[in-house]
Amino acid sequence: MLSCRLKTIASMVDTPNVIDIGCDHGLLDIYLVKEKNLFCIASDINENALNKAIKNVQKYGYQKMIKTVVSDGLEKIDVREDTTIIISGMGMHTIKHILSNPKAKRANKIILQSNNDLYLLREFMVKSGFMIENEKVIKEKNIYYVIISFIPGKQKYNKMELYIGPIILQNKIIYQDYLKYLQDKEIFKLKNIPKKYLSLRLKTYIKLKKIMGYIT
């Protein structure tokens, strides 16, 4: 059974080709073929992980629709223009390393689910010539996951939009639990900064005030 996180990623795909980098078990690719009749390249840097994907692909008989490749990011993969690149379940630095390959710029869409540093991730993507098309937040096993789709284009965002997400901010009612979680995270941080670190306390306080200003 595919997780809600991966199903949400699948729901944001609308191109005939997908490159799933870091596919691990390959279950997302199998779901995409089954539900959307797409062609997928399922790749992973780890041969053992890819072997799991190969077994699953064979189990479903999808060898013609899913090509499996061992590759560090896009190194051994060609990117066509009608392609969505998906990178999920990794940290921001690994995602940034993968997307630093110039081939990434050819993609029609890039869907990312980073485990951390969403501000830096959005900032990096904007500097790389992409704009935010859509954002979705889901909560699974008590963890919030933010999934962002980027398309080629230019758009300016302010700091709070980069931190919280412009689409999330446009949908405050839908995402009120997530926004409250972000606010509580800053309150927790502030409470735990020792009193002697005045400038850090002040910085965190200002950020908290800004978040509160944006979400109320």
Binding site for ligand SAM (CB under 6 A): 21-24, 43-46, 49, 72-73, 88-90, 94, 98
Looking up tokens 């485990």, which residue turns up?
115
- Decide if 96 contacts 121 (C-beta within 8 A): yes
Decide whether 77 or 193 has the Cβ nearer to ligand SAM: 77
CA distances from 204 to 115, 121, 183, 188, 211 (A): 21, 20, 11, 10, 10
> Measured between alpha carbons, how far is residue 114 from residues 15, 26, 55, 86, 92 in Å?
21, 18, 26, 11, 6
Q: Which residue is nearest to ligand SAM (CB)?
A: 22
CB of 34 to ligand SAM, least distance (A): 17
DSSP tag of 198: H
Judged by beta carbon, residue 23 or residue 132, the one nearer ligand SAM is: 23
Could you tell me the two tokens for 212?
Answer: 């509160």
- Minimum CB distance to ligand SAM smaller for 72 or for 117: 72
Please provide the size of the chain in residues.
216
Nearer to ligand SAM, 77 or 187 (CB): 77
Q: Between residues 10 and 23, which has the closer beta carbon with respect to ligand SAM?
A: 23
> Residue 165 region, left (φ>0) first, then alpha (ψ -120 to 50), else beta?
left
Q: Does residue 99 contact residue 126 with C-beta atoms inside 8 Å?
A: no
Task: Report the residue number, 147 or 211, with the smaller CB distance to ligand SAM.
Answer: 147
Provide, rounded to whole angstroms, the least separation between the CB of residue 72 and ligand SAM.
5
Minimum distance of ligand SAM from residue 49's CB (angstroms): 4
Q: How far is the CB of 194 from ligand SAM (least distance, A)?
A: 34
Question: In the bound complex, what is the minimum distance in angstroms from residue 88's beta carbon to ligand SAM?
Answer: 3
CB 40 → ligand SAM: shortest distance, Å?
12
Contact 170, 152 (CB under 8 A): no
